[in-house]
Amino acid sequence: MSLESPPEILDVRTVATSRLFEIEAVDLRFSNGVEVGFERLKGSAAGAVLVVPITTEQDVVLIREYACGTERYELGLPKGRVEPGEALMVAANRELMEEAGFGAEQFDYLAELTSAPTYSGQRTHVVIATGLYPARLSGDEPEPLEVLRWPLADIDQLALAGHCTEARSIAALYMARAHLAAKASG
């Protein structure tokens, strides 16, 4: 049995859809012959983008928005869906302008993240945005979002104090800090 070879997909069918989600039933056969049925949230083809905006003072720009899943306001990074046919960095700049009121001169791709990959196909592309300048686009937010800055050097306190609990945002902040530190050291 090899853990490198994925199981054989026997069948995929949609079992439920909503405005935002599609749930698929997936029947699999593993290399040891065991057949199992799973359900998964189907991710969009282009995925989502999560932007880590960094000011010249090495502050990260955060937004506070209502999170229906946790029923409270949460601090996090600008993020959103990459529209079909939209280039990733165009989506990053659009989301940054819609949610934080900034555009960026430079975007650096960091990585792709997943959350709960055993049942969700959602992929999030993390990018760092620098060379920020004021620019606002109207988006799909139901209310104006609070925008604030937090020193990138102090993200430990942000995460540990519970101000920002979204795993993708926390992971992206640590990845960005490590990337910028490595870049600064040569």
- Report d(CA 127, CA 160) in Å as an integer: 23
Contact 24, 40 (CB under 8 A): yes
**pLDDT per residue as tens, the chain (186 positions):** 456 788 999 999 999 988 777 899 999 999 899 999 999 888 777 789 999 999 999 999 999 999 888 888 999 999 999 998 999 999 999 999 999 999 999 999 999 998 888 888 889 999 999 999 999 988 788 888 999 999 999 999 998 988 888 999 999 999 999 999 998 887
Helix (H, G, I), strand (E, B) or coil at 137: coil
Q: Class for domain 48-184, per CATH? A: alpha beta
**Paired strand residues for 62:** 148
Who's near 4: CB < 8 A, 6+ residues apart?
none
β pairing state of 48-53 and 123-134: parallel
- Report d(CA 101, CA 77) in Å as an integer: 13
- Domain positions in the chain are 8-41, 48-184
Residue 170, classified by CB atoms within 10 Å of its CB into exposed (0-12), middle (13-18) or buried (19+), is: middle
What number of residues does the chain have?
Answer: 186
Enter the tokens of residue 154.
């102090």
- Look up the pTM and report it: 0.88
